[in-house]
Amino acid sequence: MNINTVSTTAFADQRPGTSGLRKKVKVFQQPHYLENFVQSIFNALEGFRGQTLVVGGDGRYYNREALQIILKMAAANGFGKVIAGRGALLSTPAASCVIRKYKAFGGIILSASHNPGGPNADFGIKYNASNGGPAAENITEAIYKLSLAINEYHISDAPDIDIDNLGQQKMGDMIVEMIDPVADYADMMEQLFDFDAMRKLLGSGTFSMSFDAMNAITGPYAREILEKRLAAPAGTVLRAEPLVDFGGAHPDPNLAHAKELVSLMNASNAPDFGAASDGDGDRNMILGSHFYVTPSDSLAILAANATLVPAYAKGLAGVARSMPTSQAVDRVADVLGIDCYETPTGWKFFGNLLDAGKITLCGEESFGTGSNHVREKDGLWAVLFWLNILAVRKQSVAEIVKDHWQKFGRDVYTRHDYEGVATDGANALMQDLRARTGELAGQTFGSYRVEHCDDFSYTDVVDNSTSSQQGIRILFSNGARIVYRLSGTGTEGATLRVYIEQPEKDPAKLENDPQLLLSELIKLSASVAHIENYTGRHVPDVIT
């Protein structure tokens, strides 16, 4: 094997976002583009020579080609071993599991998560550290700075290897081991949950469920765990085959993009339990028969019922949520007498808290929930957590949620997304809100009085690092909130997310439609930020 040093020119657009670098496939296919970014990752790291790197992805278009390039670059840069998922497949939570189990130096995950796939759609790449979690901001910033100055990269001239069969192969001095992408993760799930109770529930003849894998990575995992190890009937897992373009569907598990499952769960003969996961397996949506569970409520309910699950039977060290996530889990933490941390959006912010043992469960409103078992959010884990609770409590999803509201109150919550808006307009909107935070405090809008307004800043309690400009918060005297932030997960234009929340304890209103209960706040959220003026949109694209 010869090592080639290739001269290159830097690209100016390789700053990683909250979940790595995401661009259109055709951008990554440009000569040197992927190679530049991978070399910038390696240049930002120290002490990896002879160490193990984990690589895998969500199966989207260009995953297989990217894996071969990364293998050759890892060999040329001195890694001793690469562990990769067979077929270039490895869900994001499974990659975290594998990094941690085999004590790897780190990992490269090939995914654009819930973004569409295909030759004209999206691709992504991110680096995860030795704890299995997304790289810290100081590393991603170093990668970006190095990408601006790069002038060469190193790659071997070795032939492509067989990535479709298990076992070890050699690439020069480096070992490449292709592993079953499902086995390690499935074994871990069996250690966390009460599989006997879940197996009994699924085999009772009186309970049914449907899991929509959305033609994405979670299909093989769900088939192995739900249909094989838990003996759920064949066909429980829908759209189970990972496809490079996700079958032309949008692999985002929400009410707008999982319409088939939503229709099934609202039918006259609906299953008792429905769930879905996204492109790379780290998100989840939970449904009961004719009942939708918001991600914020889901996190709170998992925390309130954690002791029913073997892995968490001794209780929780603490919980954490992203700032835009509703305050439902805060109320649970208050009752349990444990700490609740509010962090910026992005799973990497939970990593320090998990590593320090300060929290056990964490989650964000964008359909992500997780715990200390890995350092990523984990869609199928959340589904199994719910299934375990259902098996123990022997109540329906709706009954469990309504009981929770009666005990803790309800944080009525919605998120309005304005997708693909002009970046300049979205940035101007945020800049205008930021400039008016001081003057908004104390103002009254209808029945709402602004108690506080700020641009959220976070100081990490473990390493004292700070993150500023994480979203505009308008906090009202009655406990209601409106939050505005721009999402970093898209590849075209900007996505403005508006989060609207209000506590409700009136038993007569607990089950009302959030859009009805929040109607005044929804109108206020649009008018205060002048959304139509800045974006040209008078209604959101997606409501969850």
Phi, psi of 373 (to 5 degrees): -75, -30
Cβ contact 61:112 at 8 Å: no
Strands 444-445 and 448-455: antiparallel
Residues 6+ apart with CB under 8 A from 233: 202, 208, 227
List residues bridging with 148 in a β-sheet: none
The residues assigned a catalytic role are 113
User: Tokens representing 313?
Assistant: 């039977």
Cβ contact 503:462 at 8 Å: no
Q: Which residue has the tokens 């080609």?
A: 65
Instruction: Give the 3-state secondary structure of residue 499.
Output: strand
Environment class of 507 (CB within 10 Å of its CB; exposed 0-12, middle 13-18, buried 19+): exposed
User: Tokens representing 54?
Assistant: 């984990």
Element (H, E) at 171: strand 167-171
**Residue 135 carries which DSSP code?**
P
Cα separation values, 436 from 401, 408, 433, 469, 528, Å: 38, 34, 5, 14, 10
Q: Nearest Cα to 91, choosing from 209, 230, 186, 228?
A: 186
Between CA 437 and CA 441 the distance in angstroms is 7
Cβ contact 332:351 at 8 Å: no
